[in-house]
Amino acid sequence: MKESDFFMEKIKIKSEYITLGQFIKFANISSSGGMVKAILQENKIYVNDILESRRGKKIYPGDKILIKSIGVYKIIKK
C-alpha cells in the first residue's frame, strides 16, 4: 500500500504546534495517552517523510504525517 492510497485528512490546531503524542490523541488514532506509546512502537510514522518515533516531536501547521496502514494527515492552522 502506498501513500496515494489514503485520503489526506486535515487536522486543525489553534496553537503554534502540537506534539506527536498529542496529535495521535487529537486525530482519534488513540483514545488514551497510555496507548500512544504502543502506537509509536507498533507503527511506522513519518513526519514530512522522515521516520519519527518521539512522542514529544513538535508538529507545526503545514507538516504532513503518514502513519502506515492508518492514514495521511496534514496539520493546518485553525
CATH number at residue 9: 3.10.290.10
pLDDT averaged over the chain? 89
Total tally of structural domains belonging to the chain: 1
Distance, first Cα to last Cα, the chain: 31
CA angle 54–65–15, rounded 5-degree value = 80
Residue range(s) defining the domain that contains residue 10: 3-77
Pull the grid cell for residue 64: 504532513
pLDDT at 2 over 60: no
Task: Using the predicted structure, report yes or no on whether residue 47 has a pLDDT greater than 70.
Answer: yes
| CA–CA separation, 15 and 30 (whole Å) | 20
Confidence label for 1 from pLDDT (cuts 50, 70 and 90): very low
Cell 507538516 -> residue? 63
pTM attached to this predicted model: 0.85
